[in-house]
C-alpha cells in the first residue's frame, strides 16, 4: 500500500465481497480491521467496505484507477481477466508486483493460520 501511496495522491482500500471466498467475517468487520492497522499519519488512505463491482464503486466515487497486486503468474493471469472487465466498464487497472517477502502470503493462508491459532 505504501507504493500505491507514492504513486497516487489518494488511495482507497476497498474491502469487497468475493463469493468464492469465506473470510469468516463480513466486509465491514474486515474494513475496520484494516483501518486499525494503518498508520494514523496515512490521512490520504481511506478504507471502505463494498459488496458490488469494484468498477461500480470507482465510477460512483470518481476513482480513476484500480491498483492490484500480483504475487505470481497465476495471480497475474486471473488479475488480467478482472482488469479487462474493469477496463470495459471504464476503469483502468495498474498492477504492482508484491514485495518479495510477501509473495507466499495469501488471504487463505492468513485465515488458516488465524483459525489454527484460535484452537
Output the nine-digit C-alpha cell for 15: 474491502
Measure the CA–CA gap between 27 and 101, rounded to whole angstroms.
Answer: 26
Measure the CA–CA gap between 54 and 17, rounded to whole angstroms.
Answer: 10
Domain of 103, in residue numbers: 2-118
pLDDT digits over 42-63, tens only? Answer: 999 999 999 889 999 999 999 9
Measure the CA–CA gap between 44 and 38, rounded to whole angstroms.
Answer: 11
- Is the pTM here over 0.85, yes or no? no
Cβ-based neighbours of 91, under 8 Å, separated by 6 or more: 54, 55, 58, 59, 63, 64, 65, 66
Using 50, 70 and 90 to split pLDDT, how confident is the model at 107? low
Cell 486499525 found at: 36
What is the CATH number for 44? 3.40.50.620
Amino acid at each position: 500500500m505504501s507504493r500505491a501511496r507514492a504513486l497516487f495522491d489518494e488511495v482507497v482500500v476497498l474491502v469487497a465481497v468475493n463469493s468464492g471466498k469465506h473470510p469468516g467475517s463480513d466486509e465491514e468487520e474486515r474494513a475496520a480491521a484494516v483501518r486499525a492497522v494503518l498508520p494514523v499519519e496515512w490521512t490520504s488512505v481511506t478504507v471502505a467496505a463494498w459488496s458490488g463491482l469494484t468498477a461500480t464503486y470507482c465510477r460512483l466515487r470518481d476513482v480513476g484507477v484500480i491498483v492490484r497486486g500480483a504475487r505470481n503468474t497465476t495471480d497475474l493471469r486471473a488479475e488480467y481477466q478482472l482488469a479487462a472487465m474493469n477496463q470495459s466498464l471504464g476503469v483502468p487497472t495498474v498492477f504492482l508486483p508484491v514485495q518479495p517477502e510477501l509473495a507466499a502470503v495469501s488471504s487463505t493462508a492468513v485465515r488458516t493460520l488465524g483459525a489454527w491459532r484460535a484452537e
